Each structure stands twice: as C-alpha cells, then as structure tokens.
A and B are shown apart, each in its own frame.
Chain A
C-alpha cells in the first residue's frame, strides 16, 4: 500500500452502520432457536464457574470451543464476509481460537480460582457478555432484534472469553509443561486481536460503545498479570 501514511482508519470501513447491524437482525431471526441454546449454555458456564463446580473448566472450554467455531462460521464466514472481504480472515482466526479451546478441554482444563479482583472481573465479564452487552444496543436506540448475543456475535463471545481466561487455565494431571504454558498464552492472542479490530470497527462506525472491547481487553490483561492463583485440591 503506497502512501500508507495518508490512510485513516475510516478509509478501510466499507459498510454502513445500518448494514452492519442488519446482519445481526437477520441472523437472530434466522437462528432464533440457536440463540436461546447458546444463552442457556453461557448461563450454565457462569453458574458452574461461580460455584466452583468440579467440571466447570472443562464445560467452559467445550462451550467456548463451540462458540468460537460457530461465530467464525455462522457470522464471519456466512454473513459478515458478504459486506467485508476481511471477514474471511476473521473466520479463520475464530476457528483457530475454537480449536485451541478444544485442545484446552482435551488437555486438562482447570479452574485456577484467582482471588479478589481477577475473579470478580472474570465472572463480571462473563455476566456482561451474557446479560449487559445485548442491552447496550437497545439503550443506544437500536431495536432488540439487532441484539448481539454470546455465541452468535463476536463481541460478547470475546468478552466472555476474556472472563474465562482469568478463571480457567490448562493444567492437566502432571506438572505444567512448556506446551501447556504456550497454549495458555496463545489462547489470549485472538480475543485481544479482536478487541482491537472490533473496537476499531465500532469507532469508525461512530458507535458510542466502541471503547468497551479495548477497555475489557486491557483490564483482563492487567488482572491476569497481577492475579494470585489458588489451585483446586486434586
């Protein structure tokens, strides 16, 4: 790209706010049953994590693996790609994150039970993703039919994942291996990248909630860096 310094973020925006929000409206109408199943799965994970259930981490990993793959396929690949040619690449990124969570489920996901702010933020982000994020659009004047929900839209799925990353890790039966540590770090890459892409997209669309994803990403990284983990007894 020549004269790259002359490009503004808005030069890369190729669709209108109306077209973007209509994607969610049409998807919600077409896949209404899936929407409620996804919300129920998200609620089950939240309860399991909040009450420290034995298999909460595995349940979280399985639900997130399915959620990321589904959003990559049903939203990015099938719908967003019709108005944004970059969405095909987003779909691949989401599929990779889904595969990583599947590896996490298979490789021995554990609830790391941080104390204090990290736990509160982790559960809070999951709650925001499930209950508050769909309402934001309504509060900003958009119809309910365009609500973005967990496991259907990328933004709430990423918010829930950031929460999970504070509460779940890959530990397995033995001592932490280099591979498991690498997987734990790699799981952050796609959600944080989406915080930047999703935030930038909303900012160029002049959406007032554009700050939410970047702020959640920054807070989650800060909380992860400073959290004190309390491992469950085996």
Chain B
C-alpha cells in the first residue's frame, strides 16, 4: 500500500491545487488519483457521470491510467461490414471523449485489431490510444512476425503494452517482449488469463518474472483472485487489468431483472453496469477494467463508472452481499 500511495503522488501532479473532498481523499488513500479529463459528450452534451476521471498509476512507471478501458472481444469482431465498422469507430470516439485511454485486443479476436486500427484512423486518435495487445502463438519464433502484423493492423508506431495471451508459450515470448522493451519498441509487458484458468501458473510467473501488467477475470461474483493473485500483484508492483467484468453480458442480464438498490446512488451509480464496474475498480490492486461493448450509450455509461465517488471497503462488502443475495 505504501508503494502505491507514493506512486499515486508521483502520478497525479495535475491534481495539486484541487480542493479534495473526503471521498477523493479516500480515493488517494487507495492509490487513486483524479484527472481533469474531458467532461463533454460527443455533441457537446455532458458525458455520463460528470466529474473528474479516476485514474490509477501503473506501478512500474507511475503513469496514470483511467480505471475504465475498452475491451474488444466479440464486440469489435465485425469483419468487413462497413456499417458495423463505422459503429465501432463511434464507440471509440465516445470512449475517448469520455476520457478513456486503454483499448485492449488480441490476434485471437478475429477482425478486432483491424477494426480498431480503422476506427482510430477514422476518428484521428491513433496517437492518443494506450494500445494494449497480445501475442497469441505457441511458437516463440513466430511471435515477432505476429506482433508486427498486429501493429500494422492497429496502425500505431508501437504498442504501449503487449501481453502473452492465456500464457501461451510465455517462456519463449517474455524474453522477446523484454528485448522489445529494452530497445524502446514497447513500453510495458505482461501476461493474461481469463475465467479463472491457470491461476497457479500465473502466481508462479508473478513471483519469478519481472512484469508490468497481469490481466485476469474478476467481477462481483467471480472473486477468487482476491485471495492470492490480486494481493500478490499488489505486493509485486504489477498493474492489474480486469477482463470480462460483466461475464460477457450474462451477469448484467441477470442483475437487470432486479432493481438497483437505492443506496447505489451514494456511490453515483446510475445502473447495474456502473455498480459492477465500481466494485471492480475500487479494489486497491486493480488498475483498469476493460468492458467490451458495441454501443455508444453503454461505453459512456461504462466510463461514467470511472467518475465520482468510489466505494470504500465496507461499501464493497455491502455490494457483494447484495448481489449474492439476489
């Protein structure tokens, strides 16, 4: 915790001079900072959840990242459909206008990388994105060619973050990523897993390898990572990206059959999506959650979860108890 506090202080010089509310002070105590990012929507109307964007520092550098990013699994895999591609570009436009930065993809996600590259060029944000991608091939020798093809599809000069997808061939890929980082062709490296798989191996890699990021599945009902992986990542100074925050929509579908509790307004939630996201990103070890969506309204709602009050530990337990009882 001490490390995170120090890094938060490094990461948020722009916050000096802010009149900090009690809640923001609480946020700082958990490693958060707030950034005065855009608070206007696509056509000049206020973006969802007006207020300062909550960010978290990447432990290895102190660089601040908004706590909500954008995933691309399924939602951006639209092939060559021109209408759907334009729709994805609008989702990205709304994402940036609401203060988002990190977009995550993988060569495994079909056409998603090309759709992201196309959309970024269309909205003129290729240089603004925090580009997070993966290497997904069992052969270490084929990793560099796949990474280069991914970079070409994104249209970026270099990736900010490259992760070994689902630990596939990690022993061979991590040295490649380290060499890229040393040569200045990559800023951060990491590993990913999903749906609670291979957590023992993730723990072992976290202990033995120098990593900047680890990506895992975590949400208000899948909480196993709270026991070991999140504390370990925190202790090792590794940033945590959370995938599948809505269980690919299944969790939200289930929750939407129930009314949002009135007390959710205390932490500024305007719906279940924000309720679930605020629970995730308020964990002290979590750096960023990456919900995927193909809807402009939903991406604004998701980014709204990165603004306003955040739940403290007691509120988090209340939230989890409430969902478990539904």
Q: Is A85 part of the contact surface with B, judged by Cβ < 8 Å?
A: yes
Contact A19 B84 (CB under 8 A): yes
With a cutoff of 8 Å between Cβ atoms, the chain A residues found around residue B195 in the complex are 6, 11
Contact A2 B74 (CB under 8 A): no
Q: Is B243 part of the contact surface with A, judged by Cβ < 8 Å?
A: no
Complex partner residue of A82 from B73, B108, B111, CB under 8 angstroms: B111
Of residues 76 through 126 on chain B, the ones whose CB sits less than 8 Å from some CB of chain A are: 77-81, 83-84, 108-111
Given contacts A14-B73, A19-B79, contact A6 B197 (CB under 8 A): yes
Interface string of A1-29 (1 = CB under 8 A from B): 01100100011011110110011001000
Given contacts A3-B198, A84-B110, contact A19 B78 (CB under 8 A): yes
Contact A82 B110 (CB under 8 A): yes
Contact B78 A83 (CB under 8 A): yes
With a cutoff of 8 Å between Cβ atoms, the chain B residues found around residue A19 in the complex are 77-79, 81, 84
Contact A16 B110 (CB under 8 A): no
Rounded to whole Å, the gap between the CB of B169 and the closest CB of chain A is 12
With the chains together, A13 CA to B74 CA distance in Å? 8
Query: Among B75, B79, B109, B110, which residue has the most Cβ atoms of chain A within 10 A?
Result: B79
Q: Is B302 part of the contact surface with A, judged by Cβ < 8 Å?
A: no
With the chains together, A3 CA to B167 CA distance in Å? 12
With a cutoff of 8 Å between Cβ atoms, the chain B residues found around residue A14 in the complex are 73-74, 77, 108-110
With a cutoff of 8 Å between Cβ atoms, the chain A residues found around residue B74 in the complex are 13-16
Contact B110 A2 (CB under 8 A): no
With a cutoff of 8 Å between Cβ atoms, the chain B residues found around residue A11 in the complex are 195
With a cutoff of 8 Å between Cβ atoms, the chain A residues found around residue B78 in the complex are 15, 19, 22, 83
Contact B79 A23 (CB under 8 A): yes
Rounded to whole Å, the gap between the CB of B258 and the closest CB of chain A is 21
Q: Is B282 part of the contact surface with A, judged by Cβ < 8 Å?
A: no
With a cutoff of 8 Å between Cβ atoms, the chain B residues found around residue A3 in the complex are 197-198
- Smallest CB-CB separation from A3: which chain B residue? B197
A–B Cβ pairs within 8 angstroms, 7 of them: A14-B77, A15-B110, A16-B74, A16-B294, A22-B78, A82-B79, A85-B110
B interface with A by C-beta (< 8 Å): 73-75, 77-81, 83-84, 108-111, 195-198, 248, 294
> Which 7 pairs show the lowest CB-CB distances between chains A and B?
A82-B79, A83-B79, A83-B110, A3-B197, A15-B77, A19-B78, A83-B77
